[in-house]
Amino acid sequence: MDDLTLSTLSWLRMARFVQNSNQISNGHLRQFGLTVGQFEALANISAYQPVTQSDLAARLTVSGGGISRMVARLERDGLISRRQDWKTKYISLTEKGRDLLEQAFPSQLALQSSMFDDVLDEDEMTELHALLKKLYDHSVERRRSTGE
Protein backbone atom coordinates (compact mmCIF):
# COMPACT_ATOMS: atom_id res chain seq x y z
CA MET A 1 0.00 0.00 0.00
CA ASP A 2 3.01 2.29 0.25
CA ASP A 3 3.01 2.75 -3.52
CA LEU A 4 -0.50 4.26 -3.70
CA THR A 5 -0.64 7.60 -5.47
CA LEU A 6 -2.31 10.68 -4.06
CA SER A 7 -5.01 10.21 -6.71
CA THR A 8 -5.69 6.67 -5.52
CA LEU A 9 -5.70 7.72 -1.88
CA SER A 10 -8.16 10.53 -2.71
CA TRP A 11 -10.45 8.12 -4.52
CA LEU A 12 -10.33 5.71 -1.56
CA ARG A 13 -11.07 8.56 0.86
CA MET A 14 -14.10 9.64 -1.21
CA ALA A 15 -15.36 6.05 -1.39
CA ARG A 16 -14.99 5.66 2.38
CA PHE A 17 -16.75 8.96 3.01
CA VAL A 18 -19.70 7.90 0.83
CA GLN A 19 -19.82 4.52 2.57
CA ASN A 20 -19.82 6.15 6.03
CA SER A 21 -22.39 8.72 4.92
CA ASN A 22 -24.66 5.96 3.62
CA GLN A 23 -24.35 3.99 6.86
CA ILE A 24 -25.25 7.08 8.90
CA SER A 25 -28.13 7.83 6.53
CA ASN A 26 -29.44 4.26 6.73
CA GLY A 27 -29.59 4.61 10.51
CA HIS A 28 -31.28 8.00 10.23
CA LEU A 29 -33.80 6.91 7.57
CA ARG A 30 -34.79 3.84 9.58
CA GLN A 31 -37.21 6.08 11.50
CA PHE A 32 -39.11 6.52 8.22
CA GLY A 33 -38.91 2.83 7.33
CA LEU A 34 -36.52 3.55 4.43
CA THR A 35 -33.02 2.68 3.31
CA VAL A 36 -30.76 5.11 1.46
CA GLY A 37 -31.49 3.29 -1.79
CA GLN A 38 -35.24 3.50 -1.29
CA PHE A 39 -35.01 7.18 -0.31
CA GLU A 40 -32.97 7.94 -3.44
CA ALA A 41 -35.46 6.00 -5.59
CA LEU A 42 -38.43 7.91 -4.15
CA ALA A 43 -36.66 11.25 -4.57
CA ASN A 44 -35.75 10.37 -8.16
CA ILE A 45 -39.27 9.19 -8.98
CA SER A 46 -40.64 12.40 -7.48
CA ALA A 47 -38.36 14.53 -9.65
CA TYR A 48 -38.93 12.68 -12.95
CA GLN A 49 -42.31 10.97 -12.69
CA PRO A 50 -43.60 9.16 -14.47
CA VAL A 51 -40.27 7.38 -14.91
CA THR A 52 -39.53 4.05 -16.53
CA GLN A 53 -37.91 1.33 -14.48
CA SER A 54 -34.87 1.26 -16.78
CA ASP A 55 -34.39 5.05 -16.51
CA LEU A 56 -34.68 4.79 -12.73
CA ALA A 57 -32.08 2.01 -12.66
CA ALA A 58 -29.68 4.08 -14.78
CA ARG A 59 -30.07 7.16 -12.57
CA LEU A 60 -29.50 5.14 -9.41
CA THR A 61 -26.76 2.92 -10.85
CA VAL A 62 -28.64 -0.17 -9.70
CA SER A 63 -28.71 -3.46 -11.59
CA GLY A 64 -31.86 -4.57 -13.37
CA GLY A 65 -32.51 -7.24 -10.76
CA GLY A 66 -31.82 -4.87 -7.91
CA ILE A 67 -34.20 -2.24 -9.22
CA SER A 68 -36.90 -4.87 -9.81
CA ARG A 69 -36.73 -6.00 -6.18
CA MET A 70 -36.68 -2.41 -4.89
CA VAL A 71 -39.61 -1.32 -7.07
CA ALA A 72 -41.61 -4.40 -6.07
CA ARG A 73 -41.08 -3.61 -2.39
CA LEU A 74 -41.94 0.09 -2.81
CA GLU A 75 -45.10 -0.93 -4.66
CA ARG A 76 -45.99 -3.55 -2.02
CA ASP A 77 -45.56 -0.85 0.66
CA GLY A 78 -47.95 1.41 -1.26
CA LEU A 79 -45.32 4.10 -1.93
CA ILE A 80 -45.33 3.87 -5.73
CA SER A 81 -47.64 2.75 -8.49
CA ARG A 82 -46.76 1.22 -11.84
CA ARG A 83 -48.75 1.85 -15.01
CA GLN A 84 -48.26 -0.28 -18.10
CA ASP A 85 -48.30 1.52 -21.45
CA TRP A 86 -47.87 -1.17 -24.08
CA LYS A 87 -44.38 -2.62 -23.31
CA THR A 88 -43.26 0.15 -20.98
CA LYS A 89 -44.00 0.40 -17.26
CA TYR A 90 -44.14 3.88 -15.79
CA ILE A 91 -43.54 4.48 -12.10
CA SER A 92 -45.06 7.31 -10.06
CA LEU A 93 -45.34 8.11 -6.37
CA THR A 94 -48.60 7.41 -4.61
CA GLU A 95 -50.01 9.91 -2.14
CA LYS A 96 -48.51 7.77 0.65
CA GLY A 97 -45.12 7.89 -1.09
CA ARG A 98 -45.31 11.68 -1.53
CA ASP A 99 -46.25 12.12 2.13
CA LEU A 100 -43.39 9.91 3.32
CA LEU A 101 -40.88 11.68 1.10
CA GLU A 102 -42.12 15.08 2.34
CA GLN A 103 -41.48 13.90 5.91
CA ALA A 104 -38.08 12.31 5.27
CA PHE A 105 -36.56 14.73 2.75
CA PRO A 106 -35.94 17.80 4.98
CA SER A 107 -34.51 15.66 7.74
CA GLN A 108 -32.21 13.73 5.39
CA LEU A 109 -31.11 16.95 3.67
CA ALA A 110 -30.24 18.49 7.05
CA LEU A 111 -28.28 15.40 8.06
CA GLN A 112 -26.25 15.36 4.84
CA SER A 113 -25.64 19.11 4.96
CA SER A 114 -24.37 18.84 8.53
CA MET A 115 -21.66 16.41 7.38
CA PHE A 116 -20.13 19.36 5.51
CA ASP A 117 -21.30 22.34 7.54
CA ASP A 118 -19.89 20.92 10.78
CA VAL A 119 -16.31 20.72 9.48
CA LEU A 120 -15.87 22.97 6.44
CA ASP A 121 -16.02 26.74 6.24
CA GLU A 122 -17.69 28.46 3.28
CA ASP A 123 -14.48 28.85 1.28
CA GLU A 124 -13.63 25.17 1.76
CA MET A 125 -17.14 24.13 0.70
CA THR A 126 -16.94 26.33 -2.39
CA GLU A 127 -13.57 24.85 -3.33
CA LEU A 128 -14.71 21.28 -2.64
CA HIS A 129 -17.84 21.81 -4.73
CA ALA A 130 -15.80 23.17 -7.65
CA LEU A 131 -13.32 20.28 -7.48
CA LEU A 132 -16.03 17.63 -7.25
CA LYS A 133 -17.88 19.22 -10.18
CA LYS A 134 -14.68 19.14 -12.21
CA LEU A 135 -14.17 15.45 -11.40
CA TYR A 136 -17.80 14.65 -12.12
CA ASP A 137 -17.84 16.48 -15.46
CA HIS A 138 -14.67 14.64 -16.49
CA SER A 139 -16.18 11.28 -15.48
CA VAL A 140 -19.32 12.00 -17.53
CA GLU A 141 -17.21 12.90 -20.56
CA ARG A 142 -15.09 9.78 -20.11
CA ARG A 143 -18.18 7.63 -19.79
CA ARG A 144 -19.60 9.08 -23.01
CA SER A 145 -16.37 8.52 -24.90
CA THR A 146 -16.17 4.87 -23.82
CA GLY A 147 -19.85 4.19 -24.48
CA GLU A 148 -20.53 3.01 -20.94
Percent of the residues in the chain that have a pLDDT greater than 90, as a whole number:
76
pLDDT tens digits for 20-31? Answer: 999 999 999 999
Where do the domains of the chain lie? 6-117, 119-148
Pairing of strands 51-52, 80-85: unpaired
Q: Does pLDDT of 148 surpass 70?
A: no
35, 29 in Cβ contact below 8 A? Answer: yes
**Separation CA 24–CA 30 (nearest Å):** 10
Architecture in CATH of 6-117: Orthogonal Bundle (1.10)
Q: Does pLDDT of 147 surpass 80?
A: no
Per-residue pLDDT, averaged over 53-73, amounts to 85
Give the residue from 74, 88, 65, 76 showing the smallest Cα distance to 45: 74
Q: Does pLDDT of 61 surpass 80?
A: no
pLDDT band at 1 (very low <50, low <70, confident <90, very high): low
**Separation CA 63–CA 60 (nearest Å):** 9
